[in-house]
Chain A
């Protein structure tokens, strides 16, 4: 019976096979999935789940999610895209999302790295300093 550790190891191995010169090859990813579904080896569902996680993490590492309170003008969006590629190298995918809850400013997340210059985060920081629960809107402590 395949243990969780074995499946994780195999999923990682399959993921490595899908990298070409350090970049994820989508064609290979599809081929791997098709082959697994066709042969359905023992434990294929957890294997696919693990493999999916690896692909998702790789995708997140090469994707910059840019959130702003209002949609960005074209030239600003281009500058942001340029800045992300300069910091993280070519081949980055930049996605733009409008989120009015940010109130103002911009939040960029690339993998685990976050650059948060939004008004919402500034207010949250002030709330943390003054000991106010921003979620419940509690009273400031004396």
Chain B
């Protein structure tokens, strides 16, 4: 009781005893999630406004006699004539480790029914990106677990790599695989007590998606044990355009907390095409002038200021990083459209997924020729660079010769051999969804492909052999995979050992097939 009395006294004392000046306005017009408020002469851009009934808004349009406000909440409770007050604050979201494993909305409020989010720190949703001096070059890899990407389009911590393609080409799957792969590594390092390993936490921002898709993603992450290392910011299609517009910035704020505290985080924006559409809607309702394809004139700045917040900062500033994987959905493979070209020019590379490849059964449907990572080999361990260099070259040669494939019987031996090798390498790079591979196994199988061990094997058996090879090495010599990751380079001894394992596994595989055939 005494504590309660003290608390009450403190609260009453805390209430403003003196009369301070406040700035107010009156709602003149409201509709479509936007209110036009007369007055509010002191309102600042992006300032949070109190609209009453527990609803807040953001001042986005500052005009001579009124302010255009986007409403964060249920605007049906508001009426013309309601009083609006300035708060002097920017919009903030809760950040911190307490958000891991949770599904939250744009304002950081939990929507997963698991109780309140534990957080005592809040970060502003809109924040300036780290400056040039604060940054450090990208040199640590992000293991997506997808061979085609880790070998030929490597992503580094602090990089922005765009994932672009038509609908249903596997863009989200690549991102989910990355989250699962990183979660496995985090768990393995924690179990092994590896103090040197830097865990990578993931933030998945779902913008304008179907709620069933978001639910399915959550379920996949939960089954794979990746949810404890992931924050999900959900702004589904049923949310207002305002909420969808702010969701990526809220996610970026959560990621920046990890970066500022010396940790590494990965943020996925799924997808920025819908984000641009939501921003277009908000801008049109605010009566801002429209430009190309009815997008507002600052749609480039919308994405550039968002993506620039993904960076790797120097040791003096915490040595943290935020890696960005924005997703863009194209229409009919048109990468020269407005929003795709904008985001391509902002990011540090793109992974281009093609519908044709997907339909041919090449999954992930990565067009290696058109995809690029501007960070490149700096983000790869040396061992991977050693095997991946020849892989990329051989695939490039294969693509050049593919047109002649229909004349297979009329080609010289060298060309035929190149085509055969290319077909097996393409088959090798196929991977099931939600089945990321660690670097060590990727190096092993790529070495099998580029070393010619698969040249005499039917293409249809390549993936079967791959599975058998992994089983073989796991059962007979798991230490060699650890050795690859510890040494991070393939010296002659290690190469010899790996080649020996591949030969033995192949002998066993061929013998088993022959026995079955008899």
Question: Hey, which bits of chain A sit against chain B, CB under 8 A?
Answer: 53-54, 57, 109, 111-117, 122, 125-126, 129-130, 133, 135
Contact = CB atoms under 8 A, between A and B. Distances in A.
23 contacts: A57-B38, A111-B39, A112-B23, A112-B24, A112-B25, A112-B39, A112-B40, A113-B24, A113-B41, A114-B21, A114-B22, A114-B24, A115-B20, A116-B19, A116-B22, A117-B19, A122-B15, A126-B11, A126-B12, A126-B15, A130-B11, A133-B54, A135-B53
Nearest to A131: B54
A114 B14 CA distance: 20
Contacts of B12: 126
Nearest to B41: A112
A53 B23 contact: no
Given A57-B38, A57-B65, A109-B24, A115 B19 contact: yes
Contacts of B41: 111-113
Interface in B12-56: 12, 14-16, 19-25, 38-42, 53-54
Contacts of B24: 109, 112-114
Interface of B: 11-12, 14-16, 19-25, 38-42, 53-54, 65
A113 B21 contact: yes
A18 B20 CA distance: 34
Contacts of A54: 65
Contacts of B38: 57
A133 B22 CA distance: 21
Nearest to A4: B287
Contacts, number: 43
**5 A-B pairs with the lowest CB-CB distances in the bound complex, closest first:** A117-B19, A112-B39, A112-B41, A114-B22, A114-B24
B16 A129 contact: no
Nearest to B18: A117
Contacts of B19: 115-117
Contact of A125 (B15, B21, B39, B54): B15
A112 B86 CA distance: 10
Given A112-B39, A129-B15, 16 more contacts: A53-B65, A57-B38, A112-B40, A113-B24, A114-B22, A115-B20, A115-B22, A116-B19, A116-B22, A117-B19, A122-B16, A125-B15, A126-B12, A129-B11, A130-B11, A133-B54
A109 B12 CA distance: 25
Contacts of A129: 11, 14-15
Contacts of A126: 11-12, 15
A34 to B, nearest CB: 24
A116 B39 CA distance: 17
A26 to B, nearest CB: 20
Nearest to B42: A112
Contacts of A115: 19-22
Nearest to B12: A126
Query: Which interface residue of B19, B39, B42 has the most chain A CB atoms within 10 A?
Result: B19
A113 B23 contact: yes
A133 B16 CA distance: 19
A115 B23 CA distance: 9
A54 to B, nearest CB: 7
Nearest to B50: A128
A104 to B, nearest CB: 13
B288 to A, nearest CB: 13
Nearest to A110: B21
Given A54-B65, A112-B25, A113-B21, A125 B40 contact: no
A56 B395 CA distance: 73
Contacts of A111: 39, 41
A6 B25 CA distance: 25
Contacts of B11: 126, 129-130
A53 B26 CA distance: 13
Contacts of B65: 53-54, 57
A115 B24 CA distance: 10
A126 B10 CA distance: 11
Nearest to B67: A112
A32 to B, nearest CB: 18
A105 to B, nearest CB: 8
A100 to B, nearest CB: 19
Nearest to A54: B65
A111 B41 CA distance: 9
